[in-house]
Copies of this chain bind each other. A is one copy, B any other.
Amino acid sequence: MPCELCDQVGGVLVARTPLLRVIRAEDAHYPAFYRVIWNAHVAEWTDLPPAHRSHIMQAVAKVETVLRGALRPTKINLASLGNVVPHLHWHVIARFEWDAHFPQPIWGSMQRSVEPPAIERLGVPLAELDAAVAHAVQALDQPAAS
């Protein structure tokens, strides 16, 4: 079975380490929407050995921490779903009271149209946010052993 996260980077590449990568999803409603993608093909988080489970969650925490510090979002949303693309990836999404679906999940029904657009409301240029995410993820400790 071809897998799009094996074949493609899956978004704007922000950081890559030996085990994982972080991409920014290009979602007009959610400009501050990143994904932490395990490089190897595994479907479920618990397919990883415990040291690697912890490692990917440390990467998720790094991204969450950058988004909280830079954007002061109303809430962070984290999710590992993979029903359509069963290759382990964690969604890390900065949510705001004014965003298109709040307080619904981004997969729920739209609550409002957003004007001026979300990208203008963030207050931080995406290049700057990407650089901060990359810096944080590159500082991850690599796991001692698999």
Give this chain's copy count: 2
Q: 8 Å CB contacts to B: which residues of A6-54?
A: 43-46, 50, 53-54
Q: Check if A131 is an interface residue, CB within 8 A of chain B.
A: no
The closest CB in chain B to the CB of A75 belongs to B83
Question: Would A44 and B68 count as touching, CB distance under 8 A?
Answer: yes
Interface size on A, residues (CB 8 A): 31
Q: Secondary structure of the A side of the interface?
A: mixed
Question: Would B44 and A76 count as touching, CB distance under 8 A?
Answer: yes
With beta carbons under 8 angstroms apart, the residue of B50, B61, B77 that contacts A81 is: B77
Residues of A within 8 A of B (CB): 43-46, 50, 53-54, 57, 61, 64-65, 68, 74-84, 86, 95, 102-105, 107-108
16 A-B Cβ contacts within 8 A?
A44-B76, A45-B78, A46-B61, A46-B68, A46-B76, A53-B57, A77-B80, A77-B83, A78-B80, A79-B80, A79-B81, A79-B105, A83-B103, A105-B107, A107-B107, A108-B108
